[in-house]
Amino acid sequence: MDIARSKKIKGFVLDGLLFFLGSLIYALAINTFTAPNNIAPGGLTGVATMLNYVFGLPIGTMILVTNIPLFILGFLYFGWKFIIKTIIATALSSVVIDITSGIFPQYHGEPLITVVFGGLLSGVGLALILVRGGTSGGTELAANLIAIKFPHISIGKLILVLDVIVVLVSAWVYQDFESPLYAMIVIFITSWVIDAILYGTSIGTGKMMFIVSPKNKEIADSILNKMERGVTALKSRGGYSGVEGEVLLCAVRRQEVYKIYHLIHEIDPDAFIIVGDAGEISGEGFRKIAEKPMAKKFVKKQ
């Protein structure tokens, strides 16, 4: 067995293990904390939770069914490679949620414990899926599709809008105005945990990525077109070999790092990548350039 094939098999096994473990933890969050307490935590999971409340339909099955139209559109617009891991992760998590619905205990105690542990477990479970290139489908996939028609709106804002719509609908479904407030807390904690696991807790505004690959042109085009991030090609020379080449430099937000990793991996699994913290990034795509307070004082004195 050659090395490349061995790596693929190991990667496939690791994908399966983390997808399953992530699905199990996510199912614990849904079946033990959020669903029994009428909390619809945004996305299609929130929609499925409401369908379960109104019609008694299985949550996992409803997550899968409501995702099917998005899978089809995702395949048509983005291709098979983009969607395959999302389909696998969503199908697996849906099955695990339904299988464990009668196994995991239901918690009906303190609301604070419900939202904190519901959010923490959801975040850990989803992060384990995301770290291997999968997603739970739902609003993330829907937001990417909507962005095709409205490219001027960021994916993050679209996801937030979709989640808020689901949460507001839950207030009407449950006839309870506390439920959407709890749901928003769960969504916030889940997002924070995912960010902490995937990108660390650094307060830096962004990351600097240095990429070395014989397929730099393809990688740069992919980052430009799919992530809408600028890429700078720096001339380089190998210290040992003396061979001249290029190093790609890209400034990104922390939450974009894992997506770019997977874009690069699809093109060149052996690419050399360095990621470092950027204490401050100003300019197009980030915060606007502003004068420093000291500079303003100096100008006034003149």
**Over its length of 302 residues, how does the chain's per-residue pLDDT go in tens digits?**
566 677 778 878 888 899 999 999 999 999 999 999 999 998 999 999 999 999 999 999 999 999 999 999 988 887 787 788 889 999 999 999 999 999 999 999 999 999 999 999 999 999 898 887 777 778 878 887 887 788 777 666 788 889 999 999 999 999 998 999 999 999 999 988 987 887 666 554 678 899 999 999 999 998 988 887 889 999 988 887 888 889 999 988 776 787 788 789 889 988 999 988 887 777 766 666 654 444 444 444 44
What are phi and psi for residue 237, nearest 5 degrees?
-145, 130
DSSP conformational letter for 242:
-
The pTM of this model reads 0.75
For residue 289, the model assigns a pLDDT of: 62
**pLDDT value for 1:** 52
Euclidean distance between CA atoms 157 and 179, whole angstroms: 22
pLDDT attached to residue 148: 78
pLDDT score, position 285: 64
Domains and CATH numbers, the chain: 1-199 (no CATH), 206-277 (3.30.70.120)
CA distance linking residue 73 with residue 82, whole number of Å:
11
Measured between alpha carbons, how far is 42 from 183 in angstroms, rounded to an integer?
7
In 3D space, the residue among 234, 283, 226, 241 whose CA is nearest the CA of residue 82 turns out to be 226
Alpha helices in 34-177 (DSSP H): 43-55, 59-78, 80-100, 111-130, 138-149, 155-174
